[in-house]
Amino acid sequence: MFQPTFMKAPPQNSAALSLSIPLRLFTIQEGVRVLDSNTIATIKATIPVLESGGVAITEHFYRRLFSHNPELLNIFNSSHQHSGGQQVALFNAIAAYAKHIETPEALAGAIERIAHKHTSFNIQPAQYDIVGHHLLETLQELLGDTFTPEIRDAWAKAYQFLAGVFIAKEGELYKTRAAAQGGWKGTRTFIVQSKQKESELVTSFVLAPKDGDAVIDFHPGQYIGVKIRPEPDGYEQIRQYSLSAAPNGATYRISVKRESGDKPGLVSNYLHDHVQEGDAIELAAPAGDFTLHAQAGVPTVLVSAGVGLTPMMSMLEMLTTLEEPAPIHYLHACENGRQHSFKQRVTELLSQRKNLSAHIWYRQPNDEDKANQDYHAQGLMDIPGIADKLPLAEGQFYLCGPTPFMAMAKQQLLSCGVEAERIHYEVFGPHSDL
């Protein structure tokens, strides 16, 4: 049976594995050209088998992965594992790769997005060896004799080249950030400079580097990886939080929603309840491909719901500093005034900037909430209802919030005539399409 060297069972807790491919900047097109026609045909022929197996394949994969390599629990988001979101995301990624193996340009955006997310976890080449091994073994165990040596050979080759693309892209990102002014490699210790409650559910943390040096700039819309250990005897937890202020070269600000419900957020509740001013936490460098691209004379529309306003605040702060500002429209929906984060800051900006307008929806206002003062409309966000006030023909639209909200907002924009290429969005957690 074909068994390439990088797929051999890795030693436990190994940190010295190496891929058998050169670490240079592969393009997706290069990888596909190297894959022979038989390999491509074999991968495509397995698509029905993958689809019939569905998420059961990735569920088995994660059980196997964590059973043999429990140290990886220090990396993977436990909340996404419990919710099933990570399993769905991985299955969709595998299926997409198989379907588009002959049209790699369709994967470019996904690879860029995933590579950025990987760098916030400080993913290293050795971990691709481990994942590849368990992926092949999962398929072997679930498919049995139907996973023939020829099919295993094809998937090994396909995985090897895709891993090469990711390793090269992530290596490029690591190198660029480490070389930039204020940049660093791996994680860096920051001190909580201030902690401020923004609303009933959201609290902001201003973070300054312990060494007192500068911090790398970022693009508004990006996030930062936060690494903490909420339970003394538990695993490390890494979460990504959007940066909620414009870059200033000295500090970062994140604004964290307390996640409650049947399975309260382990990290968000720890940050709210236990992390105080003066405490130290570890951060990875800023990452993310959902970024503001302001153009002279082109209006920007920021559309958010709930804690989805965090990247929008960074974008808004940046837009209001431009020397040649175009119109800015800030649309936000939340439950009521108690959950209306950054209300005072947006009000200040409205008083200072004539090119800025805002429209706020409260789903269920409280008795103290005043119409046309605290909010403009009751119920869910209704973009068509204010279409005459928006730059539908030329504006760039940025969406962030719960996935159902963004799907609704995107559909409303499309129905108003906004082209899909002018609608940009960010999904918290494992990415999904709207």
For 291-357, the DSSP string reads -----TT--EEEEEEGGGHHHHHHHHHHHTT-SSPPPEEEEEEESSGGG-TTHHHHHHHHHH-TTEE
C-alpha to C-alpha distance for 157 and 163, rounded to whole angstroms: 10
Contact 199, 374 (CB under 8 A): no
Binding site listing for heme b = 118
Contacts of 389-392 spanning 24+ positions with Cβ under 8 A = 389/329, 389/357, 389/359, 390/301, 390/329, 390/416, 391/299, 391/301, 391/327, 391/329, 392/416, 392/417, 392/418
Binding site listing for FAD = 223, 239-242, 427-430
**Which residue from 184, 54, 76 is spatially nearest to 127, judged by alpha carbons?**
76
In the prediction, which pLDDT does 255 show?
98
In the prediction, which pLDDT does 110 show?
86
Domains and CATH numbers, the chain: 37-179 (1.10.490.10), 187-287 (2.40.30.10), 300-426 (3.40.50.80)
Contact 192, 281 (CB under 8 A): yes
In the prediction, which pLDDT does 413 show?
98
**Which residue from 232, 230, 236 is spatially nearest to 275, judged by alpha carbons?**
230
Residue in this structure with the two tokens 């992530």, named with its chain if needed: 170
In the prediction, which pLDDT does 281 show?
97
- For 433, the 3-state DSSP assignment is coil
Bridge partners (DSSP) of residue 334 are: 362
Contact 283, 271 (CB under 8 A): no
Phi and psi at 277, nearest 5°, equal -55, 135
Cβ contacts of 184 within 8 Å, gap of 6 or more: 177, 178, 216, 285
Residue in this structure with the two tokens 């236990």, named with its chain if needed: 274
Contact 371, 378 (CB under 8 A): yes
Distance of CA 385 to the CA centre of its chain: 31
Bridge partners (DSSP) of residue 362 are: 334, 378
Q: How many contiguous H segments (helices) and E segments (strands) does the chain have?
A: 13, 12
At residue 224's C-alpha, the angle toward residues 219 and 225, to 5°, is 155
In the prediction, which pLDDT does 17 show?
26
Which contiguous run of DSSP H or E holds residue 47? helix 47-53
Segment-wise mean pLDDT, segments of 10 residues, the chain, 434 residues: 28 29 39 72 90 88 93 76 65 84 80 93 94 93 92 92 91 96 96 98 98 97 95 89 97 95 83 97 96 94 97 96 90 98 97 96 97 97 98 98 95 98 81 58
User: Longest Cα pair distance anywhere in the chain, in angstroms?
Assistant: 71
Q: Record the pTM.
A: 0.87
**Which residue from 381, 393, 383, 326 is spatially nearest to 353, judged by alpha carbons?**
326
Binding site listing for NADP(+) = 306-311
Active site residues: 128, 170
Contact 243, 314 (CB under 8 A): yes
C-alpha to C-alpha distance for 431 and 27, rounded to whole angstroms: 22
Provide the edge-to-edge strand list for the sheet that holds 300-305: 377-378, 356-362, 328-334, 300-305, 396-400, 423-426
C-alpha to C-alpha distance for 133 and 168, rounded to whole angstroms: 20
C-alpha to C-alpha distance for 422 and 289, rounded to whole angstroms: 15
Binding site listing = 118, 223, 239-242, 306-311, 427-430
Cβ contacts of 5 within 8 Å, gap of 6 or more: 20
